[in-house]
Amino acid sequence: MTDWTEQTDQARNWFESLRDHICAEFEAIEREAGSEAEFTYTPWDREEAGNDDPGGGVQGLMKGKVFEKVGVNVSTVRGSFSPEFAGQVNGASAEQPGFTATGISLVAHMANPHVPAVHMNTRFLTTQAAWFGGGADLNPPLPYEEDTADFHAHFRAACAGHNPTYYDRFKKWADDYFFIPHRGVHRGVGGIFYDHLECEDDAAFERNFAFTKDVGEAFLDIYPKLVRRRMDSDFTEAEKLQQLQWRGRYAEFNLVYDRGTLFGLKTGGNIDAILMSLPPEAVWS
């Protein structure tokens, strides 16, 4: 079995750096809106019986004038899956349940319904296999074709620099994944989603890591532009209600179908960090 410790450290350092750049940009937007809101960072330690080094993470949270609630979490955890869960994870089994996982996860719920909510995460996992996964998807309560087109264009460009098939494949993957079956609707206007970009050797790791970094950079470049484009828009009570109703759908997906939520709960993650994706306020009427 390959020792991926060095590569895990490289990925963790990148995810933490990306977190720092994203949070600084989001705080800059709050300053532009006349707000002094800033992120608070809460470290947490994972616990696992018989494991002297289970890892942990840092939950970053800000509630401001523009960002009603935004969480940016990073974590690096290691240990063993439970026997019943191990068989559901790439490269793991009841006989070989060991894993490491490092990643960044972000969800932003916005005060103004004209500003799209967003989700982004990238991660590196190892079991008997090693792979990258992640993506980003835009979730506007009041969609604008211009915003959707610009968001997709950035991720199309990020994909094109690595593999001409990536964008079409990963866009479809996002469309299929971010769908609420019991409602018969998509969660938002999509983006890209990918998983199991296998790292058979060092060359594959470098190749997939480079792509994952470009995904993070694409998000950092485009999303603040969309926020600044819409954050001063006037809105009506009806539009605010539409946002709150849409948030109910978002919460349903994350609690019923989201694989990241399940992974966090099944591996002893921090509950507050796992559920930071839930909106601060929602309605179901």
Task: Catalogue the active-site residues.
Answer: 119
| Tokens standing for residue 261 | 């939520």
The tokens 């977190």 sit on which residue? 19
Cα–Cα distance, 43 to 253 (Å, whole number):
27
